[in-house]
Homo-oligomer: A and B are copies of this chain.
């Protein structure tokens, strides 16, 4: 949340763009390379990506923008970004000083199996706590915020009294080894726009970056509320009988 005055001045004086930076250079704040940096600052302030945890990927047509592995997510700049061709899985841009994100195969699963436009991964403590308080799936019903989430298998969003179900997969030692379980969950839960990972965090995707962001916010709100409900002994799924 520092003032961007200086940064913008610097940008204005950068009149010549190195050739391999064309993909990540734009004055448009909505360009994926800029947006990843901006959104990660917000995610950091929410405690979702502290300690280099978590990340985000945005797709623009066939170009996938991915934040590098192990960097401070709130301090990224566009030149940190990896860019991959979705069809060939080849890197169009690969900053030498960084390692590609271990989340890459997981992001690709969301792009290829669900035609996602963006995928967000956080280490949200509400997400981790819910994976400790729920068994195979996270379930909640009859909370207004549920209406911010999509039905996926048909048009439109969930209704207030619908039950939101998010599958929970078991964590693995290496992040990339989650890919199989994630893909299985995507197939078995065709209505899900997110997958929780036990003792780890959550992956949330959507057709656009803004939808992914909104889904992630709405789900995190529900995860946080669910922890509070559990603390007070209130069931998260309402018995409507």
**Residues of A at under 8 Å CB distance from B?**
1-6, 8, 47, 50-53, 72, 123, 125, 128-129, 132-133, 142-145, 148, 159-161, 171-173, 197, 199-201, 210, 213-215, 217-218, 220-221, 224-225, 227-232, 234, 238
Residues of B within 8 A of A142 (CB): 171, 199
Stoichiometry, as copies per complex, reads: 4
Q: Given known contacts A201-B144, A214-B52, A217-B50, is B5 in contact with A132 (CB within 8 Å)?
A: no
Query: Does A145 contact B123, Cβ atoms closer than 8 Å?
Result: yes
Instruction: Give which listed residue, B5, B171, B225, contacts A144 with CB less than 8 A.
Output: B171
Query: Does A5 contact B5, Cβ atoms closer than 8 Å?
Result: yes
Query: Does B232 contact A230, Cβ atoms closer than 8 Å?
Result: yes
Residue picked from A4, A51, A159, most chain B C-beta under 10 Å = A51
Instruction: Give which listed residue, B4, B47, B125, B145, contacts A228 with CB less than 8 A.
Output: B125
Query: Does A47 contact B199, Cβ atoms closer than 8 Å?
Result: no
